[in-house]
Structure formats: structure tokens, C-alpha cells
Amino acid sequence: MPIAEHKNVLLAHGGGGKLMHQLLKKIIFPSFHNRYLEQQHDGAVIDINGSRIAFTTDSYVVSPLFFPGGDIGKLAVYGTVNDLAMCGARPRWISLATIIEEGLPMETLSKVVESIKEAAAITGVEIVTGDTKVVDKGKGDGIFINTAGIGIIEKPVNINPQNVCDGDNVIINGDVGRHGMAIMSVREGLEFESTITSDCAPLSHTVMNLIENDVKIHCLRDLTRGGLASGLNEIASASNNQIEIDETLIPISDEVKGACEILGLDPLYVANEGRMVIFVPPSDTDKALEVIKRDENSKSAAIIGKVKKSDQPIVLRKNSIGITRILDMLSGEQLPRIC
């Protein structure tokens, strides 16, 4: 039987799977109970004098610091911006706190800072405050980054996991699994026929285009730790619905598929950093797909499933021969420290 109780924190408690959600429900949520946390969203949506803002925070401990398609600096900006976008907000301001290990080469720090600067310019956010700490050699693994972000919700949209309802179509904006496999290939020194690059990218422009084109969005969720499978399970749980997906419709590159087969990994659980699922009613599905595919990062966007009313929140996966199985959430992460 799987162990449910642990006396000490495990690496898996930060992996985006069942153990992390158990930790949150057992220790975090009861201690800080409020209506914002209850939404189980990517950020808090707060009303201030008739205006609405989205507020989020995140920490980045990826190893290695540089990987094909990105680095910890780009990851920190895009990850924060994407969380704000999932709330329907236009990202505006970010804080930047760095915990630097003694001995980190100044050249490495400069490269990370330059990457942060470039990513901020691409996404249109300003770094407006921050903090710097240095820890003893051997206690920081190069550099850790913490960010907080604020965005403005400009239109009267209500994008929330609880809004997902029977009949909604599930759209994904591109192929899955590239970020996790890019990290693993560098970390473990693996060589494949072609280099797998991370999908690390901002999603805010696509989300703003959807909103400006009046697409009725019920929910958005970016697929980071735990991949597509964990993201869908979180939405099913928060909305108390059943989500059914067709594996044959999920875009996966041949390189990622081959690498996962060699390593015995399921690409639906592998982390992403530029992918999201969009829940929209059937009436807005075609328009949503057309808008999403305008983004160079989302050319392979596809409808992968549908929401069905159910007494039990669950995610089901149908394979190529028509067999349906439960797509459950893993205890931890197949590959830790990917963001």
C-alpha cells in the first residue's frame, strides 16, 4: 500500500503530485484559510476600489541553470507571467529576489540577469522591487530565484476552475513534454538523435488575444510540474467534474515520444513551461483555436477532450484502440526540480 503519512518532507512533496497536494491540504490550507486560497487558482484575483488585479508568487530552483531553449532567468519571468495570464490578467509588475551561492561565477550571474531583462521586455513587465541574499558555498546550488507578480484584469472576465462545466471542450496549445525531457537530457548527459528544446515561452499574449476576441473562457491552467495529467486532475477536483481526453489527439513530438519510451516515462506527466489547457464552451471552440494558432508557439494546438458532469471528479484517458483508463495524479514528479 502507498505510504500516506511521512515524518519528514520528501523531494516528491514539491513535485506537483499527490504528495504536494496532501501537504497543502494538511498544513498550508488549514493554516491560512481564506476565499482566495479556496479557488485553487494560479493566482489570487483581488478587487480593489472597483478594479481587479491578479497576484501570484513562485520560486525557481531548476537544475541545471541553463538548458536547451531556456535558463532559470527566462523561466522565472515567463513562469510568473503565465500564472497571471491564467487568471485573465495582463502582467505588469514583477519582484525579483535571488538567493546566490557563494562562489557562483559573476559571468553566470550576468547571463541570468540579462536573460531576465530580455524576458521582461518580451512580456512587457517591469522588475520593480527585489532582494539579494548570498549563502555559504554548498548550500545554494548556484542560484535560486523567487518572484511575485501583479497583473491587471482589464475586462469583466471570470476565469476560474469552478467555472468548468458539462460540455466544455478541452484545448491544449501545443505539444507536451519538451521542457522536462530537455532538462533530463542535460542533467543526465543523455544524447538523442536530435536535441530536445524546452517549450519555455510566455502565454500572456495568447491569453490577451483570446480575451480581446471575446472568446468565452471558463478556465485556464498552465502545465508545469506534473504535466498535463496533474493539471487536468487539479481542474477536475476543483470543478467537481469528469474530464475525458483522447490520447491520440494530444500533440507529442517524435523526439519526446521516443525519449520517453526509452526512459520508461509517460509524456502526459512530463513538465512543460509554455503549455496550457483552455476550457471553452462548444460555441467558442472554433474561434478559440483560430486565435490560439496565431501564436508561433501554438501552431499545433488541438482539442483533446471534453468535460462531462459527474458525481466523481476524475480524469479518463482513451487510447488508440479505444480502451479507457483513469489518468490519475502521480505521488510526486517523474523528474524533480524542473522549474
Q: Taking 90 as the threshold, does the pLDDT of residue 111 lie above it?
A: yes
Tens of pLDDT, residues 227-236: 999 999 999 9
Residue 2 banded pLDDT, cuts 50, 70, 90: low
Q: Taking 60 as the threshold, does the pLDDT of residue 1 lie above it?
A: no
Q: In whole numbers, what is the pLDDT of the chain averaged over residues? A: 93
Calculate mean pLDDT across residues 181-190.
87
Calculate mean pLDDT across residues 141-158.
96
Tens of pLDDT, residues 292-318: 999 999 999 999 999 999 888 999 999
Question: Which residue ranges form the domains of the chain, and what is each CATH number?
Answer: 34-153 (3.30.1330.10), 161-326 (3.90.650.10)
Q: Taking 70 as the threshold, does the pLDDT of residue 4 lie above it?
A: no
The model's pTM: 0.93
In this structure, the strands spanning 90-101 and 169-172 are unpaired
Give the separation between CA 132 and CA 240, rounded to whole angstroms.
Answer: 42
What pLDDT, on a 0 to 100 scale, did the predictor assign at position 202? 98
What pLDDT, on a 0 to 100 scale, did the predictor assign at position 93? 98
Phi–psi pair at 250, nearest 5 degrees: -80, 120
Calculate mean pLDDT across residues 136-162.
95
Give the separation between CA 144 and CA 239, rounded to whole angstroms.
Answer: 34
Residue 56's contacts (CB-CB under 8 Å, 6 or more residues apart) are 42, 43, 44, 80, 83, 84, 87, 148, 149
Half-sphere exposure of residue 103: CA atoms within 13 angstroms, side-chain side? 7
Give the separation between CA 206 and CA 115, rounded to whole angstroms.
Answer: 21
